[in-house]
Amino acid sequence: MIIYCAGPIKGDKQYQLFYKEIIKYISSLGHTALSELNDKFKSAFPLNDIQIFKRDIKWMDSSEFIIAEATSASTGVGFEVAYALYNLKKPVLALCKNGEKSISAMISGCNSEILTVKYYSSVEDMKKIISQYLNEKENI
């Protein structure tokens, strides 16, 4: 499966380690994890903002669904989640670290039927959640 991975890039990078774990885990399962933090898709030269926007839109358009590390509020992640849900009508799995209070109300309060918000307590817990979600998507 082709999966767009959303996570903090420029803003609050506190949870970027978990974002990188999502990318690594999805790739280890044999899926394509579209993200600028995936070394397979690193640009050979720096991209400007317009190029990044166009690349990410193209990646989201070509993905089957989106998995986002959404623990901390991020303008970019929020935009990507909204774009996927309301423009593309693609499912989104938003992962949030247990006990953290910084998830955006625009995600935690969203009642879209194709948005799944799950809380994880560790990297292993996060991997289990991702595996369950992928199994559901493969069986549809």
Mean pLDDT of the chain: 92
Instruction: Write out pLDDT tens, residues 61-110.
Output: 999 999 999 998 788 999 999 999 999 999 999 999 987 677 888 898 99
For the whole model, what pTM was predicted? 0.93
- The CATH architecture one would assign to domain 2-138 is 3-Layer(aba) Sandwich (3.40)
- Three-state SS letters, the chain: CEEEEECCCCCCCCCHHHHHHHHHHHHHCCCEEECCCCHHHCCCCCCCHHHHHHHHHHHHHHCCEEEEECCCCCHHHHHHHHHHHHHHCCCEEEEEECCCCCCCHHHHCCCCCCEEEEEECCHHHHHHHHHHHHHHHHCC
Lowest mean pLDDT among 88-92, 107-111, 123-127, 131-135: 107-111
Spatial distance between the Cα atoms of 108 and 80, rounded to a whole number of angstroms: 15
Domain boundaries, the chain: 2-138
Residue 140 confidence class, pLDDT cut points 50, 70, 90: low
Nearest alpha carbon to residue 17 among 99, 129, 117, 120: 120
Contact 17, 80 (CB under 8 A): no
Mean pLDDT, residues 36-46: 90
Mean pLDDT, residues 23-32: 97
Q: Write down the pLDDT at residue 28.
A: 97
Lowest mean pLDDT among 8-22, 89-103, 120-134: 8-22
